[in-house]
Amino acid sequence: MSIATKRGDGGQTSLVGGTIDELIPQMGFARSVCHDVEIRERVKALQRDLYKVGSAIATPPESKNAAPEIAAEIVDALDAEVHRIEADPGVLADWSLPGELPDAAAIDVRRTISRRAGRLATALMEAGALDNPHILAYPNRLSDLFGRSIEERQGALSTVRTADTSGPRWSRPW
């Protein structure tokens, strides 16, 4: 067995799997600069989950090896975590302006990669190449975690709106 599969030589690398491959080390970078022990440990667990999700995406239906099962519970756990974070006062006060803290900024980069993985998974599902809705939901839920929480915990919220810009908190910032 070799890590050099050579599938990418002919352009056959899975787009979503490739994005998941990008997401895992970005989360590792975010974890390495994060000061919050609880978030670091949670990110490490999520990285392990992502290996399963990436494998499930990359395993073709005709494969003799079964893809790892991605069940509703994995998405439900992320939902619960998102709701727990949203319950913290101040977290949902406004759109976040990334870059106030290095660890929160690294988590924000992870958020954008996760959003891309979700869009690519949607394209695969629409093309009939992916049929597990939990795989589709996972990157979307994952993208919602942590950034604002890190800023809130460290007292360094940076919002898009300033004193001279206003509007409903769920509207577009401008």
Q: Which tens digits make up the pLDDT trace of 51-97?
A: 999 998 888 777 888 888 999 999 999 999 888 877 876 666 666 77
The fold adopted by the segment(s) 14-60+67-154 is Hypothetical Protein Ta1238; Chain: A; (1.20.1200)
Report how far residue 140's alpha carbon sits from residue 49's, in angstroms, rounded to the nearest whole number: 14
Domain regions of the chain by residue span:
14-60+67-154
Q: What is the pLDDT of residue 154?
A: 80
Q: What is the pLDDT of residue 124?
A: 87
Nearest to 142 by CA among 15, 22, 17, 23: 23
| Cβ–Cβ under 8 Å, residues 148 and 105 | no
Q: Which tens digits make up the pLDDT trace of 139-159?
A: 988 887 876 777 777 877 677
| Cβ–Cβ under 8 Å, residues 157 and 99 | no
Residue 66 DSSP symbol: P
**Is the pTM for the entire model greater than 0.95?**
no
Averaged pLDDT for residues 129-136: 87
Task: Give how far the C-alpha of residue 52 lies from the chain's centroid of Cα atoms, to the nearest Å.
Answer: 14
What pLDDT band is residue 173 in, cutting at 50, 70 and 90?
very low
